[in-house]
Structure 1
Amino acid sequence: MSTQVEQQQDFFKVVHERHSVRYYDPAVKISKQELEEILQEATLAPSSSNLQPWRFLVIDDQDLKGKLLPIAYNQQQVVDASAVIAVLGDMNWYQEGEKIYSKSVEAGYMSEDVKKQMMSTVENGYHHMDEARKKKIVHIDGGLISMQLMLVARAKGYDTVPMGGYDAAKFNEMFQIPAHYENIMLIALGKAAKPGHPTVRLSVDEVTHWNSMK
């Protein structure tokens, strides 16, 4: 069964209705076009210097999802969800600076002078940054886009679950992930067969300090 859900929802409703779903209707197949639309909206997420280090591998072939299943410790959502999206981080992401900033100039969002300043930051900063700091940036930006992707999916009437429980080394080998890509997470995406169960949260008072951590 193929489905395309077009919904405009109140943002706060989307936030409150998003739950991690682990049981999916295997009959629901999200089209490539709609997956691309979800990814397009997700890429509006912020990133360090707008350099967008995220990369995606969309796995919607059933045979490949079957091969992914043991790598993901036999979590059934891998095969029942319409797709599994691997969110990856390109450790050479800053090399796209010239392309990104040139497009910004063409679009009228940035002057040539600002582009030169930004490129100077890229060349003098990111190029010489140590690996630990690079990984931190890539993982922060990867987390930002992952959350945005899940909210976009929920706004379209779909469900997701972020997955950190998988063998990254075997995943990289199976799917021929380039060595300079970091694993951020897998996100199963589809239509819930069972709703995600409600969860509790610590109160704002329990997690927040004002002006000092004392």
Structure 2
Amino acid sequence: MTDFFNIARERRSTKVYDPNLEIPREELLEILEVAGRAPSAWNLQHWQFLVFDNKELQQRLLPITFNQQQFADASAVVAILGDLEANKNTDKVFDPSIERGEMTPELKEILRGQIEGAYRRKEYPRDAAFLNASLAAMQLMLAAKAKGWDSCPVGGFDPAKLMEEFNVSDRYIPVMLITIGKPLKEARKTDRLDIHDLITWAK
């Protein structure tokens, strides 16, 4: 098994891809399945993956991404969408556990009350969508690296145009786009702040 720490250290944002290389859909599906194992509040899985693995579709992304060539050249692009109505997943998430005897119906109703209480707070749906979908996005990039693919998370795009062009339901909010492929040139090395500058030990 590939060492996780090497994967995490070697992952870099790649922006120049081999445009002639396709990623097998089965392999992409495996990466997405691992991404979907990311943690989420109440296990509601506040994400939707909008996948582009077709050059014609990727060309339609160019004006949405301010003509960043990596979107045309990548082997695939995944739009990470946050679910603003993940509370609607409650039954789908918990009912299988009840059927297997791993959860009681009473506990499910307690959790439902917590979830609905949170979703009544004005800012919570958007905050939860971004937070939890970002966990899945990071897991996707690490899974891609483990399978030998490089990636790049991108926030520089027009969310409204993405939703309009690809008929994205207003249940979802675009969080980021991730390009996936094989690099034509090595990604630029970046420095990191000393970890001691980023840590405050609580007292």
TM-score interval, normalised by the smaller of the two chains: over 0.9
Select 2:56's aligned residue among 63, 75, 80.
Answer: 63
Whole-angstrom distance in 2 between the partners of 1:196 and 1:114: 48
Whole-angstrom distance in 1 between the partners of 2:9 and 2:34: 19
Runs of 4+ in structure 1 off by over 4 angstroms are: none
Select 2:176's aligned residue among 185, 199, 203.
Answer: 185
On the 8 A contact 1:85/1:186 being kept in 2, the answer is yes
On the 8 A contact 1:94/1:126 being kept in 2, the answer is no
Cα 1:112–1:164 change in 2 (3 A) is: same
Whole-angstrom distance in 2 between the partners of 1:211 and 1:127: 31
Q: In structure 1, what residue type is equivalent to 2:137?
A: S
- Written as runs of structure 1 = structure 2, the 5 A alignment for 1:87-166 is 87-123=80-116, 125-130=117-122, 132-166=123-157
Whole-angstrom distance in 1 between the partners of 2:102 and 2:28: 28
Q: In structure 1, what residue type is equivalent to 2:15?
A: R
On the 8 A contact 1:90/1:182 being kept in 2, the answer is yes
- Check if 1:197 corresponds to 2:176: no
Structure 1 residue 110 displacement after superposition? 2.6
Q: Secondary structure at the match of 2:62?
A: helix
Q: Secondary structure at the match of 2:7?
A: helix
Cα 1:109–1:24 change in 2 (3 A) is: farther
Could you tell me the TM-score, scaled by structure 2's length?
A: 0.95
Q: Which residue of 2 aligns with 1:210?
A: 201
Q: Count residues in correspondence.
A: 203
- Written as runs of structure 1 = structure 2, the 5 A alignment for 1:160-179 is 160-179=151-170
Q: Which residue of 1 aligns with 2:35?
A: 42
Q: Secondary structure at the match of 1:137?
A: helix
Whole-angstrom distance in 2 between the partners of 1:161 and 1:34: 18
Q: Secondary structure at the match of 1:29?
A: coil
Structure 1 residue 58 displacement after superposition? 0.2
- Check if 1:19 corresponds to 2:12: yes
On the 8 A contact 2:119/2:125 being kept in 1, the answer is no
Whole-angstrom distance in 2 between the partners of 1:189 and 1:20: 10
Whole-angstrom distance in 2 between the partners of 1:155 and 1:11: 8
- The C-alpha deviation readout for 1:143-176, integer Å capped at 9, x for no partner, is 1110000000000000000010011111111111
Whole-angstrom distance in 1 between the partners of 2:9 and 2:30: 22
On the 8 A contact 2:118/2:124 being kept in 1, the answer is no
Q: Secondary structure at the match of 2:13?
A: coil
- The C-alpha deviation readout for 1:19-60, integer Å capped at 9, x for no partner, is 000011112111111111111011111111111110010011
Could you tell me the TM-score, scaled by structure 1's length?
A: 0.90
Runs of 5+ in structure 1 lacking a partner? Answer: 1-7
